Amino acid sequence: MQTKLLINGEFVEGDGDSLSVINHATSGEIIKITQASTDQLDAAVKSSKQAFNLWSCTTPGAMAAHS
């Protein structure tokens, strides 16, 4: 199961606190994940704003060429 964060096009491990994902039917832990740190969150927001500014001005034809 992928638990890494996607920040600026790269998958990275979280640097924040750990969090258990619980199956409420069995009360068992499914997986433990590491949350993003404040710095990672700031980096993700910054890169998403930059991506939006670029892609919002891109024509559908140019977008299709990149997929």
**What are the backbone angles phi and psi of residue 12, rounded to the nearest 5°?**
-135, 155
Beta bridge partners of 19: 33
pLDDT at 63: 81
- Would you give the DSSP letter of residue 10? E
The C-alpha atoms of residue 5 and residue 66 are separated, in whole angstroms, by 22
Q: Which residues of the chain have pLDDT under 50?
A: none
Q: How far is CA 65 from each of CA 38, 49, 50, 58, rounded to the nearest angstrom? A: 35, 22, 20, 11
Task: Record the pTM.
Answer: 0.71
- DSSP H/E element including 61: helix 60-66
pLDDT at 53: 87
Tell me: the pLDDT tens digits for 26-40? Answer: 999 999 999 999 999
